Every structure is written in C-alpha cells, then in structure tokens.
Amino acid sequence: MAEAANKHSRQRSSASYVQINISLPPETAAGFKARCTAEGISMRSEIIRFMGGGISPKETPLPIATRRERKKALKTIVLCLERITKAEAQYAENIPDNLKNGAAYEAATETTDALEEALCLLKEAYQ
C-alpha cells in the first residue's frame, strides 16, 4: 500500500516539477548553503526567486492597497530617508576644511539637499 502511495506521489510530482541537476565547485555550493541558512531562506526558494526574477520572501513589499497602508509605508520611507540625510550631513561635516572645495564634499552637500527636498515633497503628498 505504501509503495502504491509513493508511486502516485512521484507521478504527481513529475507532472508538476522538473528536476534540474547542477554541478558546482564544493566551495560555491557550501557558500550558497551557508548564506541561505544564515538568512533563514531555503535554497529552493532562492533558486526560484533567481530564475523567476522575483523577490525573496524576506523582501516582501509593504502592503499599499489602502490609503492608510500607503501612509504607513510612506512614514517608513521618510524615516529611512531622514536617517540617510543625517548620515550624509555628518559625512560632509567630517570632511577636513582643506577638502571642503573637493568633489566629495560637493557630492555630499548636493545629496543632502536633494534628500531634504524629496522629504518635503513626500511629507506634503500625504498630509
């Protein structure tokens, strides 16, 4: 009886799935397995994500079906942008005075200005 059930299960699986065999260097396979284990995802789901061009379960997007959900998502985004803006401003402040006319300082201040402008627009959008 168990043998018949196993045969049926294998037939059903072969109709729904295709098995792919792949040969990898041992260090590549071990690294992939270790990364998946560390991130708490299965190797199968990571391969499916890669092949389908989709997102992994850990990258599930924020729900935005309702206005309330969009406002909540926007609040999360604003908090992240504020942290980035603060970090970029601190970076610019830590540049030595003799390099304040350099490209790194200019890029940091331009980035900070752009982020602050984006934050204002986002905050206005969902008042």
Helix axes 67-93, 103-125, angle to 10 degrees: 160
Q: Which domain holds residue 34?
A: 21-60
Q: Is 12 contained in some domain?
A: no
pTM as predicted: 0.48
Q: Is 45 contained in some domain?
A: yes
Q: Is 4 contained in some domain?
A: no
Residues 77 and 110 in one domain: yes
Residues 55 and 74 in one domain: no
Q: What is the mean pLDDT of the chain?
A: 81
The mean pLDDT value for 12-36 works out to: 83
- Model pLDDT, residue 53: 63
Give the containing element (helix H, strand E) for 68.
Answer: helix 67-93
